[in-house]
Amino acid sequence: MKLSPLALGLSLALYAATAAATTAPSTTNTPTATPSPATTAQQPADDNSTDGTDGNNDGGSRNRRPSKVKQLGAVSVTAALDEARNSLSPDTGSSQYVITAQNIQALPLGDATPMNQVLLQAPGVVQDSYGQLHVRGDHANLQYRIDGVMIPESISGFGQTLDARTIESVKLLDGALPAQYGERTAAVVDITTKSGSDLTNGGSVGITGGSFGTVNPNASFWGHSGNWSYFFTANYLENNVGIENPTASRDPVHDHTNQVKAFGDVSYLINNDTRLSFMFGVTNNRFQIPNNPSQTPQFGYLDVTNFNSADLDERQNEQTRFGVLALQGKLGDTAYQVSVGQRFSGLQYYPDEVGDLMFNGVAAQINQGDRASTLQADFSMPWGSNHTLRYGLYGELDRAYTNTYSSVFPADDAGDQISTTPININTGDRILAKTMALYVQDQWDISENWTINYGLRGDRYQAFREESQLSPRVGVVWQATDSTTVHAGYSRYFTPPQTELISSENIAAFANTTNAVQNYGNNTPLTERSNYYDIGVSQNVGSAWTFGFDSYYRQVDRLQDEGQFGTALIYSTFNYRYGRIRGNEFSATYNDGPVSAYFNFSYNRAMGKDVITSQYNFGVDELAYIADNWIHLDHDQKETSSGGINYAITDSTKVGADYLFGSGLREDGEVPNGLSLPYYFQLNFNVSHDFNFDGFGKLHTQLALINALDRTYELRSGTGVGVGAPQYGPRRGLYLSLQKDF
């Protein structure tokens, strides 16, 4: 009996999940691949392309459309499996930007560059405080995939979870995404990790140190033996600028951080068509909350009437752990990857008991956690002579909790303090959230020059209420000439809220205290629903230049946004009834001989109207204005640009520079978010040299000068919807990296 493609896929999913369950620990997750159409092949490394896969330091680039499949001849088993995995994820119709390990090495801090700073080199990516990123006018809402596996997001905070040293290449996909991508859809950060099967047995040790007490040692080792391959990396970071300074001073007060990160990937080749992999990551970050001196207390505590705000001792710790077990390979013509995984994310905020009470009227020790268990299955198979059928599923079970131990003052109906003796209120909440998604899509190669990818995705989310949606997706690519590629797409999106939430029961517990709210309203966040339209063109000029232009528009119902409304640096979700976001992006890359350069410029407008959930976070006048008027979202930045240039003086000596530019995020004026902060410009320089010593070998050195002009600029002014405190960009810093491979 011949099975249908769908029946074959579901049977394979059941078999693979059963096989994984018999060998997997209960704390695992999923690897799938970087998006690449099934009908494509890897270009050779010396093809001088500008798609970011050629190993040159071109700072990242929009891809040329991949060539049609070619006969590759004899290839290794691992390479064949990688190609099969790549066939699972299409990118037809979406916008993509590729940054390679070589591009990262060319940045001023090289492999020590934080992940958010790596992504800021792509068009349309806006920096915010606490390391947050906004892509195309969205608040966060980023989906991270490691070797194709979606890793559930961590609890909102400001620690960087992922380490750039793990990256072989990272692809930023945005715009009208194919049906395979759901949940978090502002952009997909698709990371291909380094693999021991592609490297000779060895490792690397090094250290980065410099300004603001920065010490960042790291170690990695990798290799393969028989059917086994492995890659491990770990690093420790400490400095005195863990969070953005709330003042313009050079040295923040009380801002020390200690951070530990580790990542590992172990693979075993079961046979020529099957590979079992286990991937894990661990992050433990500790932060002091920086102080803003010369602030005036708002409340009295017992017989104390004054408190020096420079002496506050608030702290926050964040942890993330994930594990993924994946079975990947080919069964006949069907490529598959099935994985099970688990991610734990935790956050603890420790207040200054007396200081927080005197400045904020509440001192709350907060403990949040979320454990997510996942199942992901993706399949790809040829269908007829010019079709590729892809289908799959994703399931996630989240168990989230919040426990808060608060000290507050009694207050009258107007919110005025009526006693200087605090009282204690303990609150807690537990949330069970279930996510399930199914998708099917067909990539139709109509001709050599035309490809269409159309599909349907079904999502269901159950937590505070049950919500669901069927979402059509379609993308078209036209290879107009050998050097001109045009893409267009439409996607319907369904974006569930994050699982952490303050319930209405918890809010009611603070009535008649200095932590009471003005508006109760609807405190259950809603799933965002939107229509996304995108069109773009990529033009190659000669072998050195690539230009790209994209235009997009998003019409949104129940637009989700987040703000920091409490004393802890934790974000709360709320919804606008309506949203509209539009923008344009331009990118250019140049790569010729010893010179490589890139330039990105983006224009964006993001607006919202009528707050319909979590109104307790807003004042009465503020709510009334937003109900009848469109306002700029707090993370809306009109103009954003990044760029860089690198020059190889010799094979062992290179110099470079890059910059970040922005027209400023929003702050309050006569109306909420009515003004934008001043323009900012940050210029960085770097020089690297490889020394060769007898008996020791090669030592890589890299010197970086961050914010070389020492320009002081604000990321946040402390005003605006959901903005908690001022934050400034980094001051001038000098850093030296030493790295030794063995």
| Residue range 551-582, pLDDT digits in tens | 999 999 999 998 766 655 566 788 999 999 99
Measured CA to CA, the distance from residue 714 to residue 716 in angstroms comes to 5
Which residues touch 114 (CB under 8 Å, ≥6 apart)? 131, 160, 164
What is the side-by-side strand order in the sheet with 142-146?
95-100, 167-174, 187-193, 142-146, 149-151
**pLDDT for 702 beyond 90:** yes
Q: From the CB of residue 423, how many other CB atoms can be counted at a distance below 10 Å?
A: 11
Residues 155/318, Cβ–Cβ less than 8 Å? yes
C-alpha radius of gyration, the chain, whole number: 26
Q: Tell me the pTM.
A: 0.86
pLDDT at position 66, please? 41
What is the rounded distance in angstroms from the CA atom of residue 727 to the CA atom of residue 294? 16
User: Residue 412 corresponds to which tokens in the numbers above?
Assistant: 């009258």
How confident is the model at residue 415, as a pLDDT? 86
Q: What is the rounded average pLDDT for all residues in the chain?
A: 86
| Cβ 437 vs Cβ 386: under 8 Å | no
Tell me, what's the pLDDT at 731?
A: 96
Q: Which helix (H) or strand (E) holds 655?
A: strand 653-662
Q: How confident is the model at residue 61 (pLDDT cuts 50, 70, 90)?
A: low
Non-local (6+) Cβ contacts of 468 within 8 A are 458, 459, 460, 461, 494
Least confidently predicted of 36-40, 178-182, 274-278 = 36-40
Can you read off the two tokens belonging to residue 122? 């792509």
What are the tokens at 629? 């008027």
Tell me what pLDDT residue 568 has. 57
Q: Which residues sit opposite 424 in a β-bridge?
A: 407
Ranges assigned E (strand) in 409-449: 423-445
Dist. CA 435–CA 569, nearest whole Å? 27
The mean pLDDT of 480-488, rounded to a whole number, is 95
**Amino acid 105: pLDDT:** 92
Number of helices (H) and strands (E), helices first, in the chain? 7, 34
- How far CA 720 is from CA of 448, 632, 716, 728, in Å, comes to 51, 10, 9, 15
Mean pLDDT of 344-372: 94
Residue with tokens 């006569």: 670
pLDDT for the residue 21: 35
CA distances for 93 relative to 350, 537, 687, angstroms: 46, 11, 38
- Alpha carbon distances (Å) from 659 to 598, 641, 656, 683: 11, 8, 11, 4
Angle at 580 between CA 579 and CA 581, to 5 degrees: 125
Measured CA angle at 140 (ends 136, 146), to 5 deg? 100
The 3-state DSSP class for residue 359 equals: helix
Q: What is the mean pLDDT of residues 140-161?
A: 79
User: Under 8 Å CB-to-CB from 674, ≥6 apart: which residues?
Assistant: 631, 632, 666, 668
Helix (H) / strand (E) containing 21: helix 5-23
Q: What confidence category does residue 90 fall into, taking pLDDT thresholds of 50, 70 and 90? A: confident
Closest CA to 376 of 325, 334, 335: 325
Instruction: Please classify residue 502 by burial: count the beta carbons closer than 10 Å to its beta carbon, then call 0-12 exposed, 13-18 middle and 19+ buried.
Output: buried
Instruction: Find residue 659's DSSP bridge partners.
Output: 643, 683
Identify the pLDDT of residue 199: 85
Q: Which of 139-148, 511-520, 643-652 has the highest mean pLDDT?
A: 643-652
| Average pLDDT for 591-611 | 96
At residue 318 the predicted structure's pLDDT band, cuts being 50, 70 and 90, is: very high
What pLDDT shows up at residue 37?
32
Rounded CA gap, 180 and 455, in Å? 9
Structure tokens at 274: 């099957």
Instruction: Measure the CA–CA gap between 440 and 456, rounded to whole angstroms.
Output: 6
Which has the minimum average pLDDT: 157-171, 262-276, 377-391, 534-548?
157-171
> What is the average pLDDT across 669-689?
96
* DSSP reduced 3-state for 650: coil
In the 8-state DSSP scheme, what is residue 410?
Answer: B
124, 585 contact by CB (below 8 A)? yes
Average pLDDT over residues 178-202: 91
Q: Using CA atoms, how far apart are residues 152 and 162, in angstroms rounded to an integer?
A: 13
Give the tokens for residue 698: 């090669």
Taking CA atoms, 1 is separated from 4, 8, 382, in Å, by 10, 11, 20
- The whole domain housing 222 covers 5-741
AA letter at 264: G
Q: What share of the chain is helix, strand, coil (3-state, %, to 5)?
A: 10, 50, 35
Q: In whole angstroms, what is the distance from residue 286 CA to residue 252 CA? A: 16
Specify burial of residue 343 (Cβ count, 10 A radius: 0-12, 13-18, 19+): buried
Which two three-digit tokens encode residue 132?
A: 């947050």
Q: For the chain, how many structural domains are there in total?
A: 1
For residue 239, pLDDT over 70 is answered with yes
**Residues contacting 624, CB < 8 A, separation 6+:** none
439: Cβ–Cβ under 8 A, 6 or more apart, which residues? 179, 180, 182, 390, 391, 392, 393, 455, 456, 457, 458
Amino acid of residue 671: V
- The residue-averaged pLDDT of 441-464 equals 95
Beta bridge partners of 323: 280, 342
Phi, psi of 14 (to 5 degrees): -65, -45
Other beta carbons less than 10 A from residue 488's beta carbon: 18
Judge residue 708's burial from the number of C-beta atoms within 10 Å of its C-beta, 0-12 exposed, 13-18 middle, 19 or more buried. Answer: middle
Q: Which residues pair with 510 in a beta bridge?
A: none
Instruction: Give the pLDDT score at 13.
Output: 38
- Find out whether 162 and 281 touch, Cβ atoms under 8 Å: yes
Alpha helices in 215-298 (DSSP H): none
| pLDDT value, residue 502 | 61
Average pLDDT of the segment spanning 712-725: 89
Tens digit of pLDDT for each residue in 94-129?
888 999 999 999 999 999 999 999 999 999 999 998
CATH code, 208: 2.40.170.20
Residue 78 has pLDDT above 80, yes or no: no
Q: Where is pLDDT greater, at 278 or 151?
A: 278
Give the residue carrying structure tokens 């390679």: 100
The answer on pLDDT for 27 being more than 50 is no
